[in-house]
Amino acid sequence: MQINIYYGGRGLIDDPTLFTLKRMTEVFEELNVHVTRYDLFEQKNNITTLPRTLKEAEGIILATTVEWHGVGGHMASFLDACWLYGDKEKIAKTYMAPVVMSTTYGEKEAELDLANAWQSLGGQICPGISGYVPEESVLENNREYQQLIEKSAENIYRCVKQQMQRLPASVMAIKNITYRTKNTTLTQQETEQLSEYASDDKYVAKQKQDISELAQLFKGKMAGKNDADTDQITALFRKAYKPQAGLTIKYKINVKGQAKPLIMRIDAGKLEIAYGELVYPDVELTMDSNILQAITEGRKTFQGGFMEGSILSKGNFGGLKQLDALFPFMN
């Protein structure tokens, strides 16, 4: 029989969880069980590949120390990796026993959290052990506590060996109803290869660089497209322009999604039009790009857009009425 231990603590010398795991390992070895321990704090750079090691085990122990709150970041990262990259069929056949020692408060909550997480992954649960142990010496100097640890190891052995069945848990019912992993066309082997890439810092850095270069290329192409669009709009306004003698007025048209507003200055019949900034326009309009397109294509007027509410206007309302006379796109 193979049992894997995944330790999520920080590896401190006086960690009571380490003492507990040592006593449990001694019991397992006496029962001819092969035990492999993975210290997650040492495997943090390769933690996404660790779910592969579940394949070799009939049972596992998730062990952690509650130093202030919860199961800790390393254990949470390992469970995330199991959810993303683990072989769910193998997990469904694997028994897990939680081992949680607390130096502060919350060992029962952390034990339940580990059990719920493993059940959410579809795995089987064995009774574990948890307790409040402010320092390792409390366990070292108390033979009764050590016997409880040894008894727990024996129970885990029997649970895994006999493939003990338990009544269904509500967390599994909820999982079947609401939990869904994203559909994927990847095989299990491809998923494991993906987890290896995710743990390779050089590969990830290269991918980020490639994505950044592609983003800059795409941004450049989009900028060129936008420049072409704005040039076309200004050309349409110039073509449709009908000057009115003696008129001097300034328009500012804010187009949603456009970086700069469309500015039009009319002075004694002369039109200046460009995209830029204008501090004190006589008339300021705000509209969507599709409304501006409808106007330049002759399907809508400025006055009609204002009346239906698709154009917002402030300033000289007489100037708003003059826009349709200055730019009669419908003609």
pLDDT digits (tens, 9 = 90+) for 58-71: 999 999 999 988 99
Backbone angles phi, psi at 6, to 5 degrees: -110, 110
Q: Are residues 153 and 37 in the same domain?
A: yes
Q: Indicate whether 222 pLDDT > 60.
A: no
Q: Tokens at residue 48, please? A: 């996404």
Q: Indicate whether 319 pLDDT > 90.
A: no
DSSP string covering 51-90, please? GGGGGG-SEEEEEEEESSSSS-HHHHHHHHHHHHHS-HHH
Specify if 268 maps to a domain: yes
| CATH number, domain with residue 237 | 3.30.1050.10
Return the pLDDT at 129: 96
Q: How far apart are the first and last CA of the chain?
A: 87
Q: Indicate whether 227 pLDDT > 60.
A: no
Q: Are residues 48 and 171 in the same domain?
A: yes
Specify if 8 maps to a domain: yes
Q: Are residues 108 and 8 in the same domain?
A: yes
Q: Indicate whether 212 pLDDT > 90.
A: no
Q: Indicate whether 188 pLDDT > 60.
A: no
Specify if 302 maps to a domain: yes
Specify if 208 maps to a domain: no
Domain carrying residue 239: 231-326
Q: Indicate whether 132 pLDDT > 60.
A: yes
H or E stretch at 131: strand 129-132
Contacts of 110 (CB under 8 A, 6+ apart): 64, 66, 70, 71, 98, 100, 102, 130
Return the pLDDT at 118: 95
Specify if 217 maps to a domain: no
Out of 177, 198, 219, pick the residue that ends a domain: 198
Task: Report the residue count for the chain.
Answer: 331
| Sign of the four-CA dihedral 79, 80, 84, 85 | negative
Q: Indicate whether 177 pLDDT > 70.
A: no
Q: Are residues 187 and 240 in the same domain?
A: no
Out of 173, 198, 223, pick the residue that ends a domain: 198
Sheet holding 248-255, edge to edge: 270-275, 262-267, 248-255, 283-287, 312-315
> With contact defined as beta carbons under 8 Å apart, do 68 and 104 qualify?
yes
Q: How many domains does the chain have?
A: 2
| Sign of the four-CA dihedral 119, 123, 124, 130 | negative
Q: Are residues 21 and 147 in the same domain?
A: yes
Return the pLDDT at 277: 87
Q: Indicate whether 225 pLDDT > 80.
A: no
> With contact defined as beta carbons under 8 Å apart, do 111 and 100 qualify?
yes
Specify if 143 maps to a domain: yes
Could you tell me the pLDDT band of residue 165, with boundaries at 50, 70 and 90?
confident
Specify if 203 maps to a domain: no
Write out pLDDT tens, residues 71-130. 999 999 999 999 999 999 999 999 999 999 999 999 999 999 999 999 999 999 999 999
Q: In whole angstroms, what is the distance from residue 92 CA to residue 30 CA? A: 27
Q: Are residues 156 and 261 in the same domain?
A: no
Q: Are residues 287 and 246 in the same domain?
A: yes
Q: Are residues 151 and 248 in the same domain?
A: no
DSSP string covering 161-189, please? HHT------HHHHHHHHH--PPP----HH
Question: Taking Cα atoms as reference points, which of 91, 83, 79 lies closest to residue 8?
Answer: 79
More confident: 188 or 5 = 5
| CATH number, domain with residue 86 | 3.40.50.360
Strands 262-267 and 270-275: antiparallel
Q: What is the mean pLDDT of the chain?
A: 85
| 91 Cα distance to chain centroid | 24
Q: Are residues 47 and 136 in the same domain?
A: yes
Specify if 260 maps to a domain: yes
Q: Are residues 242 and 315 in the same domain?
A: yes
Place of tokens 């704005």: 230
More confident: 216 or 294 = 294
Return the pLDDT at 317: 77
Q: Are residues 140 and 247 in the same domain?
A: no
Write out pLDDT tens, residues 6-56. 999 999 988 999 999 999 999 999 999 999 999 999 998 889 999 999 999
Out of 198, 215, 239, pick the residue that ends a domain: 198
Return the pLDDT at 178: 45
Q: Are residues 180 and 248 in the same domain?
A: no
Could you tell me the pLDDT band of residue 151, with boundaries at 50, 70 and 90?
very high
